[in-house]
Amino acid sequence: MENSNLEKKFKTPIILVSIIIPVAVVLLFSIRLKDFGINVAPLSFLPPIYATINGITAALLVSAVVAIKKGNRAVHEKLMTSAIVCSVVFLLMYVAYHMTADPTKFGGEGAIKYVYFFLLLTHIALSVTIIPLVLFTYVKALAGQFDNHKKLAKITFPLWLYVAVTGVVVYLMIAPYYAN
């Protein structure tokens, strides 16, 4: 398939996925399985796992940039694909946890509360923004449009890294307040 056709082929699906995922997360986030008579124990073991996956994603992203700067495209491709897979696994675990557990309120007070909410809000906003950026950046690489890929990756990389790192930080900040 011609490179420009590849981009055209994926444009609409990327836009749809970029809309559907955040909407689905918001809807699923507000649903508790117990409200439908489905008795599932809260998956309270998941938050440290998905926080770790965010940390792994951050490490994969940094490693991928190092690999491409060293000219190792094959390693870069594998690391980036792994980062996407980790992000999908994170999302599935995140939704599963929130469908089985009651929300946890942050209990910090004073300035730390404002830091937490700033990090949380920017993390959430950028996690929505990053979806189309990651997918379009990936498709540009698949299409062999490496100059355009590189230009978009210069925007995508720091935002995605911020989302991954703040995911870990937000978890560490709220972890003491999870119900045991």
Q: Give residue-wise pLDDT tens across range 68-95.
A: 999 999 999 999 999 999 999 999 999 9
Counting Cα atoms < 13 Å in the Cβ hemisphere of 144 gives: 6
pLDDT at residue 154 greater than cutoff 60: yes
What is the predicted pLDDT for the residue at 175?
A: 94
pLDDT at residue 180 greater than cutoff 60: no
> Could you tell me if residue 171 is inside a domain?
yes
Rg, the chain, Cα only: 18
> Could you tell me if residue 144 is inside a domain?
yes
Distance of alpha carbon 40 from alpha carbon 98, whole angstroms: 12
> Could you tell me if residue 52 is inside a domain?
yes
> Could you tell me if residue 78 is inside a domain?
yes
Altogether, the residues listed in the chain come to a count of 180
> Could you tell me if residue 65 is inside a domain?
yes
**First-last CA distance in the chain:** 53
Domain with residue 84: its CATH number is 1.20.120.80
Residue 67: count other Cβ atoms within 10 Å of its Cβ: 18
The total number of structural domains in the chain stands at 1
Domain that holds residue 32: 21-177
Torsion angles phi and psi, residue 109, rounded to 5: -130, 160
Using CA atoms of 136, 52, 49, 160 in order, give the dihedral in degrees to the nearest 10.
-20
Cα 41 off chain centre by: 25
> Could you tell me if residue 5 is inside a domain?
no
> Could you tell me if residue 3 is inside a domain?
no
Region at 110 (left for phi over 0; alpha for psi -120 to 50; beta for the rest): left
Residue from 154, 172, 160, 177 nearest 58 by CA:
160
Does the pTM surpass 0.85? The reply is: yes
What is the predicted pLDDT for the residue at 4?
A: 66
